[in-house]
Structure 1
Amino acid sequence: MKHITIIAPDGQTNLGTVACIAGAYEIFTRANEYFKDNGGKETFKIEIAGIKSQTPLAGGLFLVKSQVYISEISKTNLIIIPSLASNFDEDGPGNAGIVKWITSQYKNGAEIATMCSGAFMLASSGLLDGKNCSTHWNYAHKFRALFPKVNLQTDELITDENGIYTNGGAYSFLNLVLYLVEKYYDRQTAIFCSKIFQIEMDRQSQSPFIIFKGQKQHGDEMVREAQAYIESQLTEKISMETLSSKFSIGRRNFDRRFIKATGNTPIEYMQRVKVESAKKSFETTRKSINEVMYEVGYADLKAFREVFRRFTGVSPLAYRSKYNKEALNL
């Protein structure tokens, strides 16, 4: 019998931690039952493991009982790290011990899956350096600042590389669990779990859920002014040469400073601002695709569709249909 270890973190948890632990435990338990009932030969022992017999979660609102201490597990096949509070401290004494154990298990052949902000714990081990990783889009700026050696992919819902799995934000951990059920059991078991727990199969992107907030957490005042100017000229097509000259700086240096501060080129930033405005119009008004397109400064429908799809993963029409009930009656 193989072994799945679901980590009960020591502190720095939230309600998402509770959901991840409970959800993963329930779905894998049901997968075990279905797989065995349908002739599967090898199932998994699923255990919640921590460094204490009882671990308070979400500020003490919940207690989770460790079925085993991590120190008692000499070998496991899959380690699941649940969501954590966004203020994760890699130097926390309890979590430091868990990170050390996870690193040792990975070197001994175990695979690791992180859910949402659980990626912070795994990244603190160094095991994600040079690898692709996803986490909640809302934590992207902080994650990049703390772990610059990790290739953060905020658009990806799930990454799978060298026995390490990561996923995007919040309750998208359910999609990761389905992905792992298919990988560790089979497709039919994953389909069964999808139907029983009513989780959409094969979701690949968290792009439609990203809310672009403007990437203002930096100290470059010139870039902040450039951002404000771009946001104030929503209907216009801004020349980057004109914008850089407005701040008396060469285009190359302007681009370099903008990328360093925001993670986007000035053109990408302008596109994301326009797309975010278009998304809000699609969500809250009955305007047509063309009306919204013109409002955000595009005159070419093909170009608008391409840019919109690049940042959301779906077409403008599909986005409006999904998020605006009134638009369905047009």
Structure 2
Amino acid sequence: MSGREVKKGANSPILDFLAMPVSVHIVATPETSASSVFGLYDTLVAAGRDWEHLVSGDEPEPVFKVSLIGPEIEGYRCGSGVWIAPDQTFDDADDADIVVVPGLTISPHDRPDPEQHPCLTWLANRDLSKTRIVSACTGAVYLAELGILDGVEATTHWAWEGLFQRFYPKVRLRTDRGLCFADASRGPVTSGGTTGWQELATFLIAHYGGTQRAVRAAKIWLMANRGELQSPFSSMITTTPHADAVIAQAQVWIAQNYAIDNPVADMTKRSGLPPTTFARRFRKATSKSPQAYILALRIEEARQLLETTECSVAEVGEAVGYVDTPSFRRLFKRKTGLTPVEHRKMFGQSRFAKFS
């Protein structure tokens, strides 16, 4: 941020007041999600403005100068079907301090083709010593394509975990996290699932505008503290298309028999394959080892029972193959971030019964 005066203050170890707003480009293409684009836009332009208008009466001091950038300015339907008209095109855009790639409506199975995603070429031409590239939700796929996530922890929507495992193995993916960055002052920042853009907005406001402005933004926009975990909201089993008929048959069988003793051995035997061959093909087809796949099935079934029945925690554990209730509780907490009781409180029938 050359050419800007920076005054350090008590609210932020980095920046408390900027003589000029931080310039931000939000990518707005036919692939972007409307909620992510406009949610980020609204919250960032409001930093240093809305609290002053609504509460304090002080002179507004906007933290960010935000614009939408895309392939053309004439307008088009974005990935959510909402009409969107960028302020600048990729060809004519000014440089910015920060580029935000919001959530993208792209395949969780196929790597994006640069020919179909011109934003990738534009991003690749940014000078990373001058422009910081950050992402919300599936926007992390673009950052992974650029290689700027290689070797660092990053997060995205949990349903895209398989895509990262297949095509971006150098990324230290943490789909259990809501926000990831290696250095608060520089480098990429990624936020998790669909409404994870709120975590990204909070980070940007706090870092570039100071803690007080972040607190005010959270109050104005009613942005609750989601914590750092994405795990409670994720599904441990997602559909991954593959053409291995033997593994597909094994998946059908194990979906009904995951609670038996030693299901991996039975599943392997039924396949007619040597154990090492079966394990290799299973991982290739599902992105999980047989053991991890069965564990995921058991946890997902336990979640469903907690959400839809009044069974006790012990009964739920036994139904999915765990007779030792304390061990089941510990495993459930380790894999989901919540205890069984906490999960039922967050997602169980009692929460939603009042709406029916």
Q: Normalised by the shorter chain, which TM-score bucket?
A: 0.7 to 0.9
1:62 equivalent among 67, 75, 82 = 82
User: Secondary structure at the residue paired with 2:242?
Assistant: coil
- 1:196 corresponds to: 220
CA RMSD of aligned residues (A): 3.0
Closer/same/farther in 2, CA of residues 59 and 311 from structure 1, 3 Å limit: closer
Letter of the 1:316 partner, please give it.
Answer: P
Letter of the 1:24 partner, please give it.
Answer: L
Encode CA deviations 1:283-305: one digit per residue, 9 max, x unaligned. Answer: 11111111111111111112211
The answer to whether 1:52 aligns with 2:64 is no
Give distance in 2, aligned partners of 1:215 and 1:65: 34
TM normalised by structure 2 equals: 0.79
| Conserved 8 A contact 2:51-2:216 | no
User: Secondary structure at the residue paired with 1:54?
Assistant: coil
Closer/same/farther in 2, CA of residues 60 and 167 from structure 1, 3 Å limit: closer
1:166 deviates by 1.6
User: Secondary structure at the residue paired with 2:66?
Assistant: strand
- 2:348 corresponds to: 324
Letter of the 2:35 partner, please give it.
Answer: A
1:119-268 residue pairs with structure 2 within 5 A? 119-161=140-182, 163-213=187-237, 215-238=239-262, 240-268=264-292
How many residue pairs were aligned? 323
1:314 deviates by 0.7
1:278 deviates by 0.9
| Conserved 8 A contact 1:271-1:307 | no
Letter of the 2:31 partner, please give it.
Answer: Q
The answer to whether 1:283 aligns with 2:307 is yes
Closer/same/farther in 2, CA of residues 59 and 20 from structure 1, 3 Å limit: closer
Closer/same/farther in 2, CA of residues 176 and 32 from structure 1, 3 Å limit: same
The answer to whether 1:90 aligns with 2:113 is yes
Deviates more, 1:62-71 or 1:200-209: 62-71
Encode CA deviations 1:154-205: one digit per residue, 9 max, x unaligned. Answer: 2222221361112222122222211222222222222221121111225212
The answer to whether 1:81 aligns with 2:101 is yes
User: Secondary structure at the residue paired with 1:32?
Assistant: coil
The answer to whether 1:303 aligns with 2:327 is yes
User: Secondary structure at the residue paired with 2:180?
Assistant: strand
Closer/same/farther in 2, CA of residues 290 and 328 from structure 1, 3 Å limit: farther
User: Secondary structure at the residue paired with 1:127?
Assistant: coil
Closer/same/farther in 2, CA of residues 328 and 54 from structure 1, 3 Å limit: closer
| Conserved 8 A contact 1:18-1:57 | no
Structure 1 segments unaligned to the other structure (5+ residues): none
Q: Percent identity, aligned pairs only?
A: 26
| Conserved 8 A contact 1:158-1:167 | yes
Structure 2 segments unaligned to the other structure (5+ residues): 1-19
Structure with the larger helix share: 1
User: Secondary structure at the residue paired with 2:47?
Assistant: helix
User: Secondary structure at the residue paired with 2:126?
Assistant: helix
Encode CA deviations 1:1-27: one digit per residue, 9 max, x unaligned. Answer: 221111122x234xxx22112111111
- 2:124 corresponds to: 103
TM normalised by structure 1 equals: 0.85
Closer/same/farther in 2, CA of residues 279 and 106 from structure 1, 3 Å limit: farther
Deviates more, 1:136-145 or 1:197-206: 136-145
Deviates more, 1:291-300 or 1:200-209: 200-209
User: Secondary structure at the residue paired with 2:123?
Assistant: helix
1:316 deviates by 0.5
The answer to whether 1:113 aligns with 2:134 is yes
